[in-house]
Amino acid sequence: MSPRVLISFFFRFLTLPIILGATTLPSSAQDTDGAPITFMHGLNQPEYDQVSSETLGRDFHVYIRLPAGYHETEAKYPVVYLLDGGATFPILGGYYNYLSFAGDVPNMIVIGISYGSNTLEGGNFRSTDYTAASPERRYWGGAPKFQTFLTTELLPKMEEKYRIDTARRIIFGQSLGGQFVLYTALTKPDLFWGHIASNPALHRNLPFFLNFTPVEESSNSMLFVSLAENDEERFKVPANIWVNAWQAKSTKPWIFNTKTLEGENHFSAVTGSFRNGLKWMFSEHTNDTTP
């Protein structure tokens, strides 16, 4: 046996527990080599739940960041659900910590919905789940089923387990996640009280969103759309067309606000979208900023 084969064999042997450990995630939210991520104190020792969806036939990895003092009170809290949680939860779950210290946002629960992978082969179906149908992509168009999963499975499970103020649900999405935020704001505006769409990617199905007539109106829900000044043209142009079209409408199914984030690009705008969206929503309801 050559030295190279021996090295490969021993490497695989030594890493076998890690590989096996990666098949399940412990509820204590530890990483696969046993080092607890609870030392990431900005995330406030997040809890973990693996949610198996009957609607979609797939599993989701859900991370829950509870506010400081959650276990010392019986209060209910606003909640923000983060799409693409595998990327957005580590960023925004920690960023929320600073926003809370600064008084920009109230005490709230942050929930990240993760696929556990960046790739389709690894189980990331964002291009299906977050999108309305498109003539350009046969695998787009799964937004109705994903919305059903949220409505009938994920939200009820989280609200049974945690003290969530169901009148203050918020959803956050970036890019295609932003498209889903617009989709659910149009099709079911009262499912969430707050909607934050960061750089919604409407480049393959803009006509659907321009021509869609909301099925119902809501006098209570809110929609915030942020646009990055330096976004790619293929994203920036259709998103601006949609925003301008809705700004011109005399009646809307939600309270609507939009902001262009100067100097930001498609991805760097995520934190600014999160902060500006939440600040605006709770400033509109100053009496509701504490649980």
Query: What residue has token string 């499975």?
Result: 153
Residue 194 covered by a domain: yes
Q: Measured between alpha carbons, how far is residue 40 from residues 27, 43, 53, 65, 90 in Å?
A: 16, 6, 29, 12, 10
* Residue-number span of the structural domain to which 165 is assigned: 39-288
Residue 283 covered by a domain: yes
Q: How many domains does the chain have?
A: 1
* Separation of alpha carbons 100 and 20, rounded Å: 38
Residue 215 covered by a domain: yes
Per-residue pLDDT of the chain (291 residues; tens, 9 = 90+): 444 443 343 333 333 332 233 333 344 455 545 556 767 888 888 999 999 999 999 999 999 999 999 999 999 999 999 999 999 999 999 999 999 999 999 999 999 999 999 999 999 999 999 999 999 999 999 999 999 999 999 999 999 999 999 999 999 999 999 999 999 999 999 999 999 999 999 999 999 999 888 766 666 899 999 999 999 999 999 999 999 999 998 888 999 999 999 999 999 999 999 999 999 999 976 444 333
Residue 93 covered by a domain: yes
The CATH number assigned to the domain holding 185 equals 3.40.50.1820
pLDDT at 88 (0 to 100): 97
Query: What residue has token string 């991520």?
Result: 37
Residue 228 covered by a domain: yes
Residue 107 covered by a domain: yes
Residue 230 covered by a domain: yes
Contact 192, 147 (CB under 8 A): no
Residue 63 covered by a domain: yes
